[in-house]
Structure 1
Amino acid sequence: MKKYIFLFTFTLIFTQILFSQTEIIPEKITQKGFAKIDFLSIEMPITNIPNEQNMGFTGIHYNLNFKNSFYTGVGIYGAISGDRGGFFTLGINAGLKKYLSNNFYLDTGLHFGGGGGAGAPDGGGAFILPHFNLGYDFKNFSINSGWSYVNFFDEGAIKNHQLNFSIEIPLDFNYAKYTSAEKEIDIEKFKMTKWNQKPKKNSLMVHFNNLKIKGNTQGINNGKTIKLAGFEFTSYINNNWFTFLKVDGAYDGIRAGYMDVFLGGGYHLSLNKNNTNILAKLGIGAAGGGGINTDGGFLLYPDLSIEQRVFNDLFLTINKGYLFTPSKDFYTSTFGLGIKYYLERNGVKTNNTSFTKGKFKGFDFILKQDMYLNAQRMTNPTEAMHQISLQVNFDLNKTFFVAGQTSFANFGDAGAYAEGLVGLGIKSRLLFNNSTNFFTQILGGAAGGGNISTGEGLIIKPSAGLNYKLSNNLKLRASAGYVKAKGGDLSTTFINFGIKYNISLLKLK
């Protein structure tokens, strides 16, 4: 009898241990995806620039792979040659990639977005960009090329067929379901799970930069200081080398509308027991708008930064750099301040003994369509304006989140209008059978272009709304709010509708 009692007790305890492990440790899920950089040379219509050159148009994209060869994602384009420096767009991608053999494949898809700028005939900003390409997969990367067609169809005049060229890099990521967000678990409990891998290092930074404008084509802007607000995302290749993506918009100093986007790499040197960092960076990208002449839009950006830890993974950063076109017709020194947050994510196999726990942190990726009911203009009559918008939220805890957002006009005769905003939000717990939650947020930052009256570019944008659950990762999203420009006439209510993709990432602490 004692033998049976012992076996029963042992079985019960062992089963409970297995059940607890399954319940506590969230499943690691892998999402297949790829990053893409493409280029096309667009023949421009003859308008205000006689014998205008082709506009060199380059894009940075990230796409998720799904079943049946389908992919979808987002991309941002910018002019890097021609006469339209400062021409930017944002849009969504969807396509099919079918392999003809182990290496050759056909890629057909569509990009729909909004944007414009630099005085180009972009109309309301809405455009389509279908493509049909033949590609070759080298496993670590692939190249493809073929036919594409661009059409700014909302009263725009840019319509043309052209070749396009692309390079793609596989870029998968691991995640857990969003319901795991804010779970904190001892690091030892991950050792027998699929999370027992080397972590990936990233950083997120919100910064403010000053540019002192110089150059022989700047006219009345020569010598002025542009004040920029922006966001930078960094991904580390190893302990020292990293890549980065940086986006800025002007909010003071000149007429609203200046924007820049940079992609680059750098070297990270840690000192003072990892409490102080020195970073050397070099970026290439596109910039312009706000009456600033950047030639075709292609710029170089060397920079040196010093960072100091202020709290756990939070650093204060100071940067000094240089920004210029290859012709030197536009050049400026840069000086800025920022707050940077580091995270070691999605792995626990590390030699750093200071990490004792893993915590799952929630991320939201929101694609939506805004409508400003009465978008006040500098000269044209007031009318509604629409824009496509991408927002990323990072949960501070179960209630508060920080947000970053970029938006580009796509209907309403304001094709050059764009926004770059950051802010803070509050959300409720799930209600109505765990299907719905409510939120409120306030964003602020840089906006301008498209003849919208935003003064020198600073706007404030509070809103409130709700999310409705479709699946573990997808929610419908709707909100309404108010936008007000400091120094401009823009002052109107807005509504938006969209879809939210939410996940949680494992962070070491």
Structure 2
Amino acid sequence: MKKIIFLFIVLISQQILFSQTENIPKKITQKGFAKIDFLSIDMPILEIDGILSEEPNMGFTGIHYNLFLNDEFYAGVGLYGSISGIRGGFFTLGVNAGLKKYFSEKLYADTGFHFGGGGGAGAPDGGGAFILPHFNLGYDFKDFSINGGWSYINFFDGGEIKGHQLNVALEIPLDFEYSNYKSAEKEIDLNSFENNSWNQNPKRNSLMVHFNNLKIKGDTQGINNGKTIKLAGFEFTSYIHKNWFTFLKVDGAYDGIRAGYMDVFLGGGYHLSMNNNRTNILAKFGIGAGGGGGINTNGGFLIYPDISLEQQLFKDIYVSVNKGYLLTPNKDFYTSTFGVGIKYYIERNGVKIENNSFTQGKFKGFEVIVKQDMYFNAKRMEDVTEHMHQISLQVNLDLNKNIFVAGQTSFANFGNAGAYAEGLVGLGLKTNPMLNNSTSFFTQVLGGAAGGGNISTGQGLIIKPSLGFNYELSKTLNLRAASGYVKAKGGELSSPFINLGLKYNISFLKLK
């Protein structure tokens, strides 16, 4: 009898342990890498007022993130901007695909393809669509790799920028951990993770939506000298140490000057906490590219020192006030900056903490969407009205199962508006999966800055509501389609639109 009771207890214990293991979503590691590359583009000779005009090469630098689909093939997204020459404000967005093949432990070949859209700064970019294939040889130093080789660029939709050039690149392995998107909003007591793969040190990130004012100075700014540009944008921060962090910051103008100004920065900083972590001081320094909207930034290379003061509003939410400077190295363009923002801190994918204020882990849904938009009869300031197409990147963070916040950037790629770009934020609602758990429906309203490409957006403020659906293709991929309307405040852009794209969705473990 004792043996039977003992066997029964063992079976029940195994069942409890199995149930607890089943209750905790599986941790999956996705291999990937970040890439920064540079190429010097030979610009075309243009005829201006009957005179042939030559210009220096445009220094074109890109920031990319790619996922490995298997041991060799990869795909991802990338953003390029001008940092030398005379085309400050020239930006593009695109998608990457490639193959990385190792010949030895250290040496490899990388062949790939980039397709995107964009332009700006009065360049002969046509509709904005371009291709950028490459073939590089590289050396892997384990913690990073360098490569270089041949590339070819062609703005093929009526543009004149095309040619062969060398390129060089720096790549850094950047894997991430995630769980199935269906685990989103599941809450689990931290003690349940004790003997689980999630029992590791958490990583810290922050997301901020902000508004900035730039007071323009510089003798080369013409009628814009002394004006104040109003910008809206977002900032993503990743902590590499308790106090040290890296950041990516993107802004677009919505008021103060003619629409079209944009800037992008990559940098680092130091975080100092006080008042029981309720008050933070952050010192930041970034380098990047910017221009457009009639602002002369020469080649586009900008320097950005800044200091921010943050005060806690709720547990993970802070209000931020920042003061800094934005300038070209020779100070042809320089501004003082002042802004405010709302920042959301995330401790993710780990439960080993010293802070006993966290008692639970919650899986949060996260989505990345790449899509192609079509605006019907997009109004121009001068040219004939025609349809406009653009490539878009949208990122969603679920607040709960049915509400999400969104950030989106888009660049024209067909329709004779190569310099047009958008930077938007907003809020959305979505249904639970239906129709055999394969389909969900959503609505969202985005608003923010847009301009360039002769599209009539006034000083740049637009609003963009839409309705659509997602159809599940796999655990991480959905087909996504939507339709809606875009309206510019102070401009004539007032158009219905449709879009089609792919959505990559995962969940991550957040401490709460």
TM-score range, shorter chain: over 0.9
CA deviation after TM superposition for structure 1 residue 43, in Å: 0.4
CA deviation after TM superposition for structure 1 residue 51, in Å: 2.2
Tell me, yes or no, if structure 1 residue 397 matches structure 2 residue 400: yes
Q: 1:123-156 CA distances to partner (integer Å, 9 max, x unpaired)?
A: 0000000000000000000000000000000000
Calculate the TM-score normalised by the size of structure 1: 0.99
Q: 1:296-319 CA distances to partner (integer Å, 9 max, x unpaired)?
A: 000000000000000110000000
Classify the secondary structure of the residue corresponding to 1:125.
coil
CA deviation after TM superposition for structure 1 residue 19, in Å: 2.4
Tell me, yes or no, if structure 1 residue 377 matches structure 2 residue 383: no
1:34 corresponds in structure 2 to 33
Match of 1:64 among 53, 64, 67: 67
1:16 corresponds in structure 2 to 15
Alpha-carbon separation, structure 1, partners of 2:96 and 2:473: 21
Alpha-carbon separation, structure 1, partners of 2:324 and 2:53: 36
Alpha-carbon separation, structure 1, partners of 2:194 and 2:126: 56
CA deviation after TM superposition for structure 1 residue 349, in Å: 1.0
CA deviation after TM superposition for structure 1 residue 68, in Å: 4.5
- Number of matched pairs: 508
Tell me, yes or no, if structure 1 residue 263 matches structure 2 residue 262: no
Q: 1:441-479 CA distances to partner (integer Å, 9 max, x unpaired)?
A: 000000000000000000000000000000110000000
CA deviation after TM superposition for structure 1 residue 14, in Å: 1.4
Matched to 1:206, the amino acid is V
Match of 2:361 among 358, 371, 384: 358
Classify the secondary structure of the residue corresponding to 1:218.
helix
CA deviation after TM superposition for structure 1 residue 373, in Å: 1.0
Superposed, 1:207-286 pairs within 5 Å as 207-286=210-289
Tell me, yes or no, if structure 1 residue 485 matches structure 2 residue 484: no
1:75 corresponds in structure 2 to 78
CA deviation after TM superposition for structure 1 residue 8, in Å: 4.6
CA deviation after TM superposition for structure 1 residue 3, in Å: 3.7
Matched to 2:128, the amino acid is G
1:170 corresponds in structure 2 to 173
Q: What residue ranges of structure 2 are gaps of 5+ in the alignment?
A: none
CA deviation after TM superposition for structure 1 residue 276, in Å: 0.2
CA deviation after TM superposition for structure 1 residue 16, in Å: 2.2
Classify the secondary structure of the residue corresponding to 1:487.
coil
Q: What residue ranges of structure 1 are gaps of 5+ in the alignment?
A: none
Alpha-carbon separation, structure 1, partners of 2:88 and 2:12: 68
1:348 corresponds in structure 2 to 351
1:147 corresponds in structure 2 to 150
Alpha-carbon separation, structure 1, partners of 2:446 and 2:497: 14
1:289 corresponds in structure 2 to 292
CA deviation after TM superposition for structure 1 residue 351, in Å: 1.2
Classify the secondary structure of the residue corresponding to 1:219.
helix
CA deviation after TM superposition for structure 1 residue 2, in Å: 5.3
Match of 1:303 among 290, 302, 306: 306
Q: Which moved more, 1:349-358 or 1:102-111?
A: 349-358
Match of 2:114 among 111, 115, 128: 111
Superposed, 1:421-436 pairs within 5 Å as 421-436=424-439
Classify the secondary structure of the residue corresponding to 2:219.
coil
Classify the secondary structure of the residue corresponding to 1:217.
helix
Tell me, yes or no, if structure 1 residue 450 matches structure 2 residue 449: no
Match of 1:319 among 322, 332, 352: 322
Alpha-carbon separation, structure 1, partners of 2:215 and 2:111: 44
Alpha-carbon separation, structure 2, partners of 1:204 and 1:471: 28
Matched to 2:351, the amino acid is V
Task: Show structure 1 runs of 4+ deviating over 4 A.
Answer: none
Matched to 2:40, the amino acid is S
Matched to 2:396, the amino acid is N
Tell me, yes or no, if structure 1 residue 102 matches structure 2 residue 108: no
Alpha-carbon separation, structure 1, partners of 2:412 and 2:116: 9
2:441 corresponds in structure 1 to 438
Q: 1:335-369 CA distances to partner (integer Å, 9 max, x unpaired)?
A: 00000000010011111111111110000000000
Tell me, yes or no, if structure 1 residue 187 matches structure 2 residue 193: no
Alpha-carbon separation, structure 2, partners of 1:59 and 1:96: 18
Q: 1:274-308 CA distances to partner (integer Å, 9 max, x unpaired)?
A: 00000000000000000000010000000000000
Q: Which moved more, 1:433-442 or 1:45-54?
A: 45-54
CA deviation after TM superposition for structure 1 residue 46, in Å: 1.5
Q: Matched residues, percent identical? A: 76
Classify the secondary structure of the residue corresponding to 1:10.
helix
Q: 1:382-404 CA distances to partner (integer Å, 9 max, x unpaired)?
A: 11000000000000001100000
RMSD of aligned alpha carbons: 0.9
Calculate the TM-score normalised by the size of structure 2: 0.98
